[in-house]
Structure 1
């Protein structure tokens, strides 16, 4: 795997195709998103990484500043923007009750999600999927993006139920405006 990582070293998805850049998800950057497990731009602890690389696949603690008035729902999107693909890999998509001010560790577990959390499909599956970058590929940034939506997501987006929609179909179909947003990036390298 190290050879593959070195061969793909200069291939990165980048920020251009992240949820953060979608026109319908633009809004004031007034939410401050934090974790007690890592600071913005710092290394993520192994316990939050995928099991196949020795982690526990435990979603990290996340907290945010007060949800602004007018937020009907919170949307959390976690993307690996350094994956060697044309677009970032979506590691988690969740709808969160706006009355919540934080998520405890493990709140995004597909089998036992926290109250007020609805897990949607990601690139990998449902629930949180921790970092597992290609060995030797270099550091990967995992961007936790939180959006305060003014309109709750309908049960369907176009003809696909929200619970079954793929992220690349679901995210562009969200009704603007976004009343606030914030993000936090953790880094992991093998």
Structure 2
């Protein structure tokens, strides 16, 4: 049974335009379905974050924030699956499964599952394919002035003022 609702806009189409850089993955192909490895264990997945690597970001980059967001969740506010904050500028790759704990000096804020880690895709059964927007944000400060107790929206608000450039990959998933 598909939920009857319009398709949500891409979240980054609603924000001020910033330059982009290159984001690649051994695990995700842009616009293609995600493997169940990256789905939440509640839908039979392994709940592992995918491998991500990035390059070509601005020379003045001082840090990174990694996010994964589902704009198609039937919530009115989408669903944050991953928010990894304050990675040093020297980090340009995350191995598969890196979202299980804080890594490389960065930390997680709670995703919409309520955990401080990556939370895999788990759209409602029978719903249309959901989009999962993986983004790496190059920031102009060493660290955003946030702590692990803030909501993803607070991180997003801070990113609005500190993002130099952004790279994205969009996978889909359907149960």
* C-alpha distance after superposition, 1:20-58 (max 9, x if no partner): 6334xx4211x1111111210011110111001111100
Q: What residue number does 2:39 align with?
A: 49
Between Structure 1 and Structure 2, how many residues are aligned? 173
Q: 1:165 to 1:22 in 2, by over 3 A?
A: farther
Cα offset, 1:152, TM superposition: 3.1
Q: What CA distance in whole angstroms lies between the structure 2 residues aligned with 1:42 and 1:58?
A: 17
**Ranges in structure 2 where 5+ consecutive residues have no aligned partner:** none
Larger radius of gyration: 1
Give the secondary-structure state (helix, strand or coil) at the position aligned to 1:108: helix
Does residue 83 of structure 1 match 2:73?
Answer: yes
3-state SS of the aligned residue for 2:157?
A: helix
1:109 counterpart residue number: 100
* CA distance in 2: counterparts of 1:185 and 1:179, whole angstroms: 20
Aligned to 1:82, the other structure's residue is in SS state: coil
Deviations 1:42-100 (A, max 9, x none): 11110111001111100000011144211111011110111112122111111222111
- Matching of residue 122 in structure 1 with residue 100 in structure 2: no
1:153, 1:77 → 2: CA distance?
15
Matches within 5 A, 1:2-41: 3=1, 6=2, 8-15=3-10, 18=11, 21-23=14-16, 26-29=17-20, 31-41=21-31
Q: Superposition RMSD on alpha carbons, in Å?
A: 2.0
Q: For 1:86-165, list aligned pairs within 5 A.
A: 86-95=76-85, 96-110=87-101, 113-124=102-113, 125-156=115-146, 162-165=147-150
Per the alignment, in what secondary structure is the counterpart of residue 99 of structure 2? coil
- Residue 155 of structure 1 deviates from its aligned partner by 4.0
In the alignment, is the contact (CA less than 8 A) between 2:28 and 2:34 conserved in 1? yes
> Which residue of the other structure, out of 110, 130, 155, is the alignment partner of 1:170?
155
Cα 1:45–1:175 change in 2 (3 A) is closer
Residue 176 of structure 1, CA deviation = 2.7
* Contact 1:9-1:138 at 8 Å conserved across structures: no
- Deviates further, 57-66 or 175-184: 175-184
Cα distance in structure 2, aligned partners of 1:114 and 1:104: 10
Distance in 1, matches of 2:29 and 2:111, equals 24
| Distance in 2 (alpha carbons) for counterparts of 1:141 and 1:175 | 22
